[in-house]
Every structure is written in C-alpha cells, then in structure tokens.
C-alpha cells in the first residue's frame, strides 16, 4: 500500500479514535447508526452547496463556490470512511477489496462507440 493510502487510513483511524473518545457513552449500535446518519447530513450539505454555487434559489442567489462543493464532497468521503471504520476495524481492507471489484467491473462494461447508432434508431 502506498504512503498516500497509508496516510489516508492513518487520518481516518485518528478521526475515528477522536470520535470514539470524545462522545457521550452510547450503546454500540446507536453509535454506528448515528455515524450513518451523519453521512446523510453531509450529502445534504453537498446539495446545498451545489444549489448555492448555481444560484438555483432565487431568493438567495449565488451563495457558494465550486470550491465549497469540493470541500463538501471531501466531507462526504471522510464521513463515509469513518462510518466504515466504525463498522469494522478492517475498513482499509474492506474498502480496498470493494474498490478493486468496482474498478474491475467498470473495465468490463462495454462503452458505446461515439459513431455507433443508438439502439432502436435508424442505421
């Protein structure tokens, strides 16, 4: 595993440890469920930032930048990895295995040629 990936998982483990030691005592399952709910909150913040970056709320106008969207997406990724770490101490291996499966699957999906006719269309 590269130093970059090791650094990522060291940071995730550190954040997980901080959350585990700096939270009120809760039953184990409740902690897990709350971490999963936190992920939904972060996804909502991405939506809010996109709406704000595109000015889709006429009452508010442009309230965010695309850099805000980037930061919110990073928060989603971090929160998801911390939630995975909460679920299993083997999060690093679980994620690596899943990423390999998704990557392999994506490489086997045929891509349409740009000049190919659309299905059901005239040749």
pLDDT tens digits, one per residue of 44-62: 999 999 999 999 999 999 9
Q: What is the DSSP string of 56-103?
A: --TTT-----HHHHHHHHHHHHHHHHHHHHHH-TTHHHHHHHHHHHHH
Q: How far apart (Å, rounded) are the C-alpha atoms in residues 89 and 122?
A: 55
Place of tokens 């972060």: 42
Average predicted confidence (pLDDT) for the chain: 89
- Whether 64 contacts 75, CB under 8 Å: no
Specify the DSSP element, H or E, that contains 4: helix 3-21
Q: At residue 72, does pLDDT exceed 80?
A: yes
Rounded Cα–Cα distance for residues 112 and 119 (Å): 10
- Cα separation, 27 vs 38, in Å, equals 17
Residue 2 has pLDDT above 70, yes or no: no
Give me the pLDDT at residue 41, please: 97
Lowest mean pLDDT segment, chosen from 78-87, 91-100, 113-122: 113-122
Q: Are 45 and 72 in contact (CB under 8 A)?
A: yes
Residue 31 pLDDT grade (very low, low, confident, very high; cuts 50, 70, 90): confident
């Amino acid at each position: 595993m590269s130093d970059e990936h090791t650094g990522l998982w060291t940071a995730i483990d550190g954040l997980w440890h901080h959350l585990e030691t700096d939270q009120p005592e809760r039953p184990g399952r409740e902690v897990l469920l709350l971490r999963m709910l936190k992920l939904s909150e972060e996804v909502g913040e991405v939506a809010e930032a996109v709406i704000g970056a595109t000015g889709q709320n006429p009452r508010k106008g442009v309230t965010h930048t695309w850099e805000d969207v980037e930061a919110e997406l990073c928060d989603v990724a971090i929160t998801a990895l911390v939630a995975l770490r909460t679920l299993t101490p083997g999060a690093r291996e679980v994620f690596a295995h899943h990423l390999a499966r998704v990557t392999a699957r994506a490489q086997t999906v045929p891509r349409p040629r740009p000049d190919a006719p659309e299905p059901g269309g005239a040749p």
